[in-house]
Structure formats: C-alpha cells, structure tokens
Amino acid sequence: MKILVLNGPNINILGIREPEIYGRQSYKDLLKLISEHAEEKGVTVEFYQSNHEGDLVDAIQKAYFDGIDGIVFNPAAYTHTSVAIADAAKGVGIPTVEVHISEVSEREAFRQVSYIRDVAVKTICGHGLDGYNEAVDFLIYYIGEKNEG
C-alpha cells in the first residue's frame, strides 16, 4: 500500500510557527514520526509539502497516475479557501483523510470552514502530530475494507 502524506502552507516551519498552537516538533520530526509508523505497518509513504495551491493540485493529480492508494492531507490555510484543491481530490477519487494539528473547531470562525471535508473519507483534528499516524491507520483499515468488499 502506498500513501501520500501531503502538507500545505507553513507546515514546513513546524516548531517555529506558533509553537503554543502547533507544538515545538519540527517538520523533520513529523516526517520521521510518520516514516517509522508506516514502516511498522508495512506501508510505503511518500511526502510532499508546498506553500503553493497549484503545486498541491498537481501533487494530488500526480498521485492518481502514480498509483497512490490513499492520501493523508493537511491543506493548512487552503482548507478554508481552495475549491481547486477540493475539486482535484474529488476528481481523482483517492481516499483522503483531512488532518489538522490543532482543533480548528475551537479557533477563529474562518478556520471552521473546510472545502476538503466533503470529499475526505475522514477528518482528524486536534490530535497534534499523532493525528497523521491515526490517518495512516485509518487508511490501512479503510482501503483494506474497500478492497475486500
């Protein structure tokens, strides 16, 4: 099973940006955490991060042609603004789990809007970096069930 872990703007500066909200662990720490977990589960993970909307759309489309089975996706600020990203995710039909490090429902009103939520198979918010591994685990289960059914 191949999973793409896709991250939007400013995730590359984890540990620097608002550590009281996002924690002190770095983006490199996040990649290590997910890589180790995926290896234990026998899953191949690929990582991509961009601060640019079109690059994220391209990565979603590329995932389809690369035979990616599932996407763990933190669109970050584009969660609240990007119809293009939601359309790309819907268009390729790859099971996608929306992940947010913070509990967005307890933050500013604009952060409570999610364009990706309607096309995601699950949303995980407020579980810190562990939410990414929860998303990997869910995709393993979800894709396994889908393939059996």
Q: Tokens for 9, please give them.
A: 């703007």
State how far the Cα of 118 lies from the Cα of 140, in Å rounded to an integer: 20
Residues 6 or more apart whose CB falls under 8 angstroms from that of 78 comprise: 8, 9, 53, 56, 85
Q: What is the pLDDT of residues 47-104, one digit of tens each?
A: 999 999 999 999 999 999 999 999 999 999 999 999 999 999 999 999 999 999 987 7
Could you please state the CATH topology (level 3) that the domain comprising 2-148 is classified under: Rossmann fold (3.40.50)
Cα pseudo-dihedral 127, 144, 68, 38, rounded to 10: 50
**Are 104 and 111 in contact, with CB atoms under 8 Å apart?**
yes
Global model pTM greater than 0.95: no
- What are the domain boundaries of the chain? 2-148
The residues that are catalytic are 22, 100
Q: CA 4, CA 44: separation in Å to the nearest integer?
A: 9
The predicted pLDDT at position 149 comes to: 62
Q: Where are the alpha helices (DSSP H) in the chain?
A: 19-22, 27-41, 53-65, 83-92, 130-148
Q: Token pair for residue 83?
A: 């119809």
Mean pLDDT for 144-148 is: 81
> Would the pLDDT of 113 be above 80?
yes
